[in-house]
Amino acid sequence: MPRAALVLAGGRGRRLGGARKVTLDIAGRTPLDRVLAACADWPPVVVGPADLPLPAGVRLVTDDPPFGGPVSGLRTGLAALAPETDLVAVLAADQPFVTGAALERLAEAVGGGEGAAYVADGVVAFLCAVWRAPALRARVAAAGSSMRSVYADATVTRVEDLAGVTLDVDTAADLDHARARASQPTTRSNPE
């Protein structure tokens, strides 16, 4: 079944002093590089600024308006997907510990529902999810500006994040934590 990943990489990095957080070094790799590695079986479309450095062959689309937020980014990314796409992984580009196995776990959890998302400490990780493409298209078309509006009343299986794949890098403390975790031998290669 055709599938793809939408990787949202358009944040301003305000809580990191304006740094482009998806390109910061974490144990020799950027968060974006790590997310793209997790998408090896999910051809990615990255939504971000036109000057975002990407590996060859990775498709980049720019959000209109720039920095329009995650729902705007989803609208832009969904428009770039092939119409026959069935499953869509929705990811933030600042999650350095997401893995291919974590995405497969979500894909299996979708079942007959609209999607599946990780939950960490009781909070749904809106940007670490897998959706059926038609359901996501309908939800995003009807959504307001918040990710909560995309998920409102959706049939989404919640999967407990036991491996910490939803950890994102928003603050200096998050960056320090991610660097410490990535330097440990058991997480250096992003297992799961």
Please choose, from the candidates 116, 109, 169, 131, the residue with its C-alpha nearest in 3D space to the C-alpha of residue 6. 131
**CB neighbourhood size of 189 (10 A):** 9
How far, in Å, CA of 143 to CA of 184, rounded?
40
Q: What residues make up the domain containing 37?
A: 3-183
90 DSSP β-pair partners: 6, 129
Q: How far apart are CA 56 and CA 49, in angstroms?
A: 16
| Domain-located, residue 130 | yes
| Domain assignment present for 91 | yes
Residue 111 lies in a domain: yes
For the chain, give the mean pLDDT.
89
Q: Is residue 191 part of a domain?
A: no
pLDDT at 64: 75
3-state secondary structure of 70: helix
Does residue 88 form part of some domain? Answer: yes
Give the residues across from 129 on adjacent strands: 90, 117
Kindly state whether residue 82 falls inside one of the protein's structural domains.
Answer: yes
pLDDT score of 77: 95
* Count of domains for the chain: 1
| Domain CATH number, residue 56 | 3.90.550.10
As a whole number, mean pLDDT of residues 142-171 equals: 92
Q: What is the pLDDT of residues 80-137, one digit of tens each?
A: 999 999 999 999 999 999 999 999 999 999 999 999 999 999 999 999 999 999 999 9
Q: Specify the pLDDT at position 40.
A: 93
Residue 188 lies in a domain: no
From the list 105, 76, 72, 68, the residue with the least C-alpha distance to 89 is 105
